[in-house]
Amino acid sequence: MEHDHGGHLMSDLSPIIKQISFAEQSLLQQRRIDSGGANSTGSSGTSMGVIFTGNFHHSVPNHLIFDGQLRPADKLLWQVLRAFISNPQMPGYVPSREELSAAMVCSAPTVANSRATLRINRWMTFCRTVRDELQRFVGDVYLLHEEPLSLADTLELDSGYVQFLEAQVSGASAGKANRNLASQVLAQISALESTPRSPTQLESMEDRLREAVFGKRTLITTSEEFDSHVKNFNTALTDAEDEKIALNEVMRASEEPLESHDKNFNAGQNSHVKNLNTAFDKNLADKENSLHGSEKNIFYPRSIGSSSININKYITTRARKGIHPSTEPARRHDADLDKPLAECLTASHLGWLVADTTQPMLFLWEVYRTNIPVIGRVLLGLGEEARRDVMCQLFGRMIFNVKHPGTEPIRNIVSFTKALVDRRRDNVMMLDEWGQMVKEAIEDGEPHFLIGHGDLP
Which residue intervals of 125-200 are DSSP H helices?
151-157, 161-170, 176-190
Distance between CA atoms of 215 and 208, rounded to whole angstroms?
A: 9
Q: Check: pTM over 0.75? Answer yes or no.
A: no
What pLDDT, on the 0 to 100 scale, is given for residue 237?
A: 36
Instruction: Name the β-bridge partners of 341.
Output: none
Looking at 238-380, list the stretches that DSSP marks H as alpha helix, in order from N- to C-terminal side: 241-255, 261-264, 270-274, 282-292, 334-337, 341-347, 372-379
Q: Which residues pair with 143 in a beta bridge?
A: 125
Per-residue burial over 83-117, b = 16 or more CB atoms within 10 Å of its CB, e = otherwise: eeeeeeeeeeeebeeeebbebbebeeebbbbbbbb
pLDDT digits (tens, 9 = 90+) for 394-412: 999 999 998 888 888 898 9
- In the chain, how many H helices and how many E strands? 19, 4
pLDDT level of residue 222 (50, 70, 90 thresholds): low
Query: 381: exposed, middle or buried (C-beta count within 10 Å: 0-12, 13-18, 19+)?
Result: middle
Residue 82 burial class via C-beta count within 10 angstroms: exposed 0-12, middle 13-18, buried 19 and up: middle
In whole angstroms, what is the distance from residue 378 CA to residue 398 CA? Answer: 18
Q: What is the mean pLDDT of the chain?
A: 75
CA–CA separation, 69 vs 238, rounded Å? 25
Position 207 confidence tier, pLDDT thresholds 50, 70, 90? confident
Q: Quote the pLDDT of residue 6.
A: 55
pLDDT number for residue 221: 60
At residue 165, does pLDDT exceed 80? yes
Residue 370 — very low, low, confident or very high, per pLDDT cuts 50/70/90? very high
Confidence check: pLDDT of 141 > 60: yes
Residue 3: its pLDDT value, please? 53
pLDDT band at 5 (very low <50, low <70, confident <90, very high): low
String of DSSP letters for 104-120: HTS-HHHHHHHHHHHHH
Q: What is the model's pLDDT at position 57?
A: 87
What pLDDT does residue 261 have? 37
Give me the pLDDT at residue 97, please: 87
Confidence at residue 296, expressed as pLDDT on a 0 to 100 scale: 33
Inter-helix orientation angle 176-190/108-120, to 10°: 20
Compute the distance between CA of residue 415 and CA of residue 269 in angstroms, rounded to an integer: 16
Instruction: Look at residue 273 in the predicted model and tell me its pLDDT.
Output: 32
Average pLDDT over residues 146-151: 94
Q: What is the pLDDT of residue 144?
A: 95
Q: Taking Cα atoms as reference points, which of 291, 415, 434 lies closest to residue 358?
A: 434
Q: Is a pLDDT exceeding 90 seen at residue 111?
A: yes
Phi, psi values for residue 128, rounded to 5°? -165, 160
Half-sphere exposure of 434 (CA within 13 A, CB side): 26
Cβ within 8 Å of residue 12, ≥6 positions away: 1, 2
Distance, CA of 364 to CA of 29 (rounded, Å): 58
Q: Which residue has the higher pLDDT, 33 or 345?
A: 345
| Distance between CA atoms of residues 350 and 269, nearest Å | 30
What is the per-residue pLDDT for 185? 95
Closest CA to 396 of 250, 259, 248: 250
pLDDT in tens, 401-441: 988 888 888 989 999 999 999 999 999 999 999 999 999 99
169 pLDDT band (50/70/90 cuts)?
very high
How much of the chain exceeds pLDDT 90, in percent?
Answer: 43
pLDDT at 384: 94
Weakest mean pLDDT among 8-17, 168-177, 253-262:
253-262
Give the pLDDT band of residue 369 (cuts 50, 70, 90): very high
Query: Is 77 in a helix, a strand, or coil?
Result: helix
**pLDDT value of position 303:** 30
In this prediction, residue 434 carries a pLDDT of 92
Buried b (16+ CB within 10 A) or exposed e, 40-52: eeeeeeeeeeeee
- The DSSP string of 355-387 is -TTTGGGGGGGGGGGGGHHHHHHHHTTS-HHHH
For residue 293, what are the contacts with CB-CB under 8 A and spacing of at least 6? 457
Mean pLDDT of 38-56: 71
Output the pLDDT for position 95. 86
Q: What percent of the chain has pLDDT over 70?
A: 67
- Binning pLDDT at 50, 70 and 90, where does residue 209 land? confident
